[in-house]
A = this chain, B = another copy of it.
């Protein structure tokens, strides 16, 4: 519980040494930031000499990119799954988009429970994986141009998913929102910032925060229970 986040996100990475380096880098980057972290520190945490790092990753930046990529993919996956119900945003899916806009209210597929589930899951992820999330959210500037573009594309996906839920809810009359895009950004922003301030020593569990934030998001969306 108060354990220092083992982070199963990188469980599939092989060989073993590469995974240990990734884990060490996540912790170091989260604690000190990318630029303040030395390759010696990372290698040390992985129980290796500085030189061994370069067998698995070409540069320190590549290590950061790897973390960012996996982290973003996980959080997008969590959000996507939780936001499922009637339909997600257009571009993200091939078939099944026809159901979008069907004025069906309430039920597991209703926009309100979809929004609540999405926010709760997204917030939970950011709290539970706050170490990874911090790196993922606040060290983007250290990526090189090409890698940065790749990550930004993933981030757009998250925004679109959330915006899709809000749009659906407005269409079905469940939500009352004047500025859908602005509200979607605000909700995203609220969730993301959890990574900045969350501490396992704090007085709330990730799920409690998720539940609170789901309620706040529904209020922001003008959902009248």
Residues of A within 8 A of B (CB): 31-36, 138, 141-142, 178-179, 182-183, 185-186, 189-190, 192-194, 196-197, 204, 209, 212-213, 215-216, 219-220, 222
Contacts and interface: CB of A to CB of B under 8 A. Distances in A.
A142 B36 contact: yes
B32 A141 contact: yes
Contacts of A141: 31-33
Given A32-B141, A36-B142, A138-B138, A194 B189 contact: yes
A10 to B, nearest CB: 23
A204 B182 CA distance: 9
B219 A182 contact: no
Contact of A189 (B190, B204, B215, B220): B190
A174 to B, nearest CB: 15
B190 A186 contact: yes
8 contacts: A31-B141, A32-B35, A178-B215, A182-B204, A186-B212, A189-B197, A190-B190, A219-B219
A33 B35 contact: yes
Given A36-B142, A141-B32, A142-B36, A197 B185 contact: yes
A204 B213 CA distance: 25
B212 A179 contact: yes
A178 B222 CA distance: 17
